[in-house]
Amino acid sequence: MSKTVLVSGGAGFIGSHVTVELAQAGYDVVIADDFSNCDETNYKGVCAILGREMPLVTMDFCDAVAVERLFGQWHIDAVIHFAAFKAVGESVQEPLKYYRNNLLSFLNVLEAAKRQGGCNVLFSSSATVYGEPEELPVTERSPRQPATSPYGNTKQMCEDFLRDAVGAYPGIRGVALRYFNPIGAHPSALIGELPRGVPNNLVPFITQTAIGKRECLSVFGNDYPTPDGTCQRDYIDIVDLARAHVCAVARMLDGRMKAGYEVFNVGTGRPVSVLELVTAFEKVNGVKLNWKYAPRRAGDVTAIWADPSLANKELGWRAERSVEETLAAAWAWEKRLAGK
């Protein structure tokens, strides 16, 4: 009998790609989303890629009764929790909004898992938990630094919620995947990153500038202590990232975990600067971007990239797609959205 995986926030950027990979790996997937961060574009794209309508529940994970009802309606073998607000800058301006939504939604999931007698829980965490790292690359043993934003703080706190729930309640097993910088789109160009309003992430701003939706791309800071003066990040292809979730779910369901709670970095292990990414986009897509340097942005760390060797070894996963392939896919997605 196939296993059922609940994907909260499954209509969003990462959730939609994970849904596709899970379904193609043979899992039954239930998508749940309140559509506060997205519209139905990616959900419809998922159905088109898979060639069938996927179960969709429109609900708010801050509603404990709705979460309980969902867990009662389906036999859920694993839940992947994406449902959260995610804009770092907004979290600084509206901290209580972020704490209420991001913490309460995950607490409700853990409460429901507990009442059901246990569940496998995969939490969507982030490299933001490392802050400005003392050593590079960062490993899972690198210290978590004080968060530089309420958003980052919610990631740290939710990791702790999961760790403590696993320690207290038999039957709950947990994995936290710490993502680095997910970019790109599905090779079909049917799903991708679709920010509401002005993008907070670099690649959507690049593609929207290239298509003419944004006038100019700002590269924040050119005086960092890096080879070209711009920040360095670990940019991971969204499909590679999605595959890591399938590996982690399989590890939980197959009973291969070495502890009740595990943490894995999901990155390439290769630092790429902002300027290198902009240049690579121009080269691979034959597009000239209108961009300029701007002052440093508050909260940006100088450089961070992963040591992904633990995920490589334990999950049997590794990043495969090149930055060039990823940027080509992102551009194909943007052009499709624009009808070009």
Dihedrals phi, psi of 67, to nearest 5 degrees: -65, -45
- For residue 89, what pLDDT band results from cuts at 50, 70 and 90? confident
Q: Calculate mean pLDDT across residues 153-181.
A: 97
Q: 């290239």: which residue's tokens?
A: 210
Summarize pLDDT for 191-231 with one digit per residue, the tens.
999 988 888 899 999 999 999 999 999 999 999 999 999 99
Whole-number pLDDT of residue 298: 79
Q: At what angle do helices 13-24 and 238-253 cross, to 10 degrees?
A: 60
Whole-number pLDDT of residue 340: 80
Summarize pLDDT for 17-64 with one digit per residue, the tens.
999 999 999 999 999 999 999 999 999 999 999 999 999 999 999 999
How distant is the alpha carbon of residue 296 from its chain centre? Answer: 24
Going by C-alpha positions, the residue among 62, 81, 74 that lies closest to residue 7 is 81
Instruction: Please check the confidence at residue 88 and state whether its pLDDT lies above 90.
Output: no
- Our CA angle for 284, 290, 292, nearest 5°, is 110
Q: Calculate mean pLDDT across residues 160-181.
A: 97
Instruction: Please check the confidence at residue 299 and state whether its pLDDT lies above 80.
Output: no
Q: 């590890």: which residue's tokens?
A: 251
Q: Which residues have a Cβ under 8 Å from the Cβ of 157 and sit 6 or more positions away?
A: 103
> Beta strands of the chain (E only): which ranges?
4-8, 28-33, 56-58, 78-81, 119-126, 172-179, 181-183, 217-220, 232-233, 235-237, 261-266, 272-273, 291-294
- For residue 271, what pLDDT band results from cuts at 50, 70 and 90? very high
Architecture of domain 4-183+235-266: 3-Layer(aba) Sandwich (3.40)
Going by C-alpha positions, the residue among 193, 199, 181, 125 that lies closest to residue 323 is 181
Q: Which of 43, 130, 151, 261 is catalytic?
A: 151
The C-alpha atoms of residue 68 and residue 116 are separated, in whole angstroms, by 9
151 catalytic, yes or no? Answer: yes
- Our CA angle for 337, 230, 86, nearest 5°, is 50
Q: Which of 139-148, 202-211, 285-294, 326-335 has the lowest mean pLDDT?
A: 139-148
Instruction: Please check the confidence at residue 179 and state whether its pLDDT lies above 80.
Output: yes
Q: 């708010």: which residue's tokens?
A: 60
Burial 232-248 (b: 16+ CB within 10 A, else e): bbbbbbbbbbbbbbbbb
Domain 202-233+269-337 has CATH 3.90.25.10: yes
Domain spans of the chain, in order of start: 4-183+235-266, 202-233+269-337
